[in-house]
Amino acid sequence: MTEKVMQHRTPDSLAELKAVVAEITSGKAAIRLGGRAQRTLAAMVADPHQTALSPIGRLAEIHQVNASTLTRLSQRLGYSGFTEMQQLFREYLSEQGGFYSERAERLARADNQDPVNQLAQRICDEERRNISGMSQALDPKAIEKSAEIIANAPRVRIYGARQSASVAVLMSYALGMLRKDASLLDGQQQGVAHGLAQLSAGDALVLIGSAPYTRATVAAAQLTSGQGIRQIALTDSLASPLAATAEYSFITPTSGSFFSNCMASSVVLIEILLSEVARQLDRRAVAALNRHEALIKALNIGI
């Protein structure tokens, strides 16, 4: 068995992995899998979107196996672990033009079967699982250290494109209530290049993004890597290109029935991070918020 595994070539694309599944099913492959592992692999390949976007714990639950089973399955196929195998599915997704429309199509099919209240309950349950997955993966020390960077860096810039832009705006606004010189990287519509040019060693860059990744976000991560700019990533997997260069990475699962990425776990993580920033800033945070409230009152903004 060991000799056959060694002769097996590790697939480096989803198309190659599908071919391996076909060979295993027909008994022609050098590698052999147990019945449950074989069925799980076939089901994962049959739904690449779900496999690409779900954390390992959620996938294990969907396929009714242990997370360790998925890890061992990945290793039997020649990968270092599940994260490396999942990257094939993520790369496949990034090459497809129909990511959002295919999700909407699946949602429409589900709507034909489920009443609205069942649809609402399902989406709420999925977001609860995403938040739970994010929470279980949290490292308190990483939260503390990241908050310290965000609180004390000379400048903090935040960047997320497309759907992640809304999360970046939320973080920028809330952080701006606590400290000065914290803003969107591409604020004032001046572009990413202009924003990156304003950063120096010791500044902080928070990058937000999930599959399918936006080229500009990945490029911003790569261009600032090794320049002394402190990177913090909010992304959907440790296999994410944003996690590859970040000093601290936080996993925010995005799977669910919504036709685009589910963002609830990202919003909750931002609340956690910025609450820790406020705790560390202590009286400085209180003073900043008092000034913010005074300006709101002076401008007669509130009703």
pLDDT along the chain (303 residues), means of 10: 48 86 77 84 81 85 90 92 90 66 58 69 86 86 96 95 93 94 82 86 94 87 92 85 88 83 92 96 89 87 74
Global confidence as pTM: 0.65
Q: Which amino acid is at 100?
A: Y
Contact assessment for residue 208 and residue 235, using Cβ atoms and an 8 Å cutoff: yes
Instruction: Give me the CATH topology for the region 137-298.
Output: Rossmann fold (3.40.50)
Query: Looking at the DSSP assignment, which residues form a beta bridge with residue 204?
Result: 156, 230
Tell me the two tokens of residue 65.
Answer: 């196996």
Show me where the domains of the chain are located.
2-95, 137-298
Q: Are 207 and 196 in contact (CB under 8 A)?
A: no
> Quick one: which H or E segment has residue 159?
strand 156-160
Q: Evaluate the omega torsion of the peptide bond into residue 11 and state whether it is cis, within 30 degrees of 0.
A: no
Helix (H) / strand (E) element for 266: namely helix 264-281
Exposure class string for 82-113: b at 16+ Cβ within 10 A, else e? bbebbbbbbbbbbeeeebeeebeeeeeeeeee
pLDDT at 58: 84
Q: Look at residue 3 in the predicted model and tell me its pLDDT.
A: 34
Cα→Cα distances 237→39, 151, 233, 258, 294, Å: 24, 25, 10, 19, 41
> Looking at residue 256, what is its pLDDT?
80
Find all residues with CB under 8 Å of 77, minimum gap 6, and list them. 8, 10, 11, 17, 20, 31, 41, 85
CATH topology of domain 2-95: Arc Repressor Mutant, subunit A (1.10.10)
pLDDT for 107 equals 57
Alpha-carbon span 256 to 86, nearest angstrom: 17
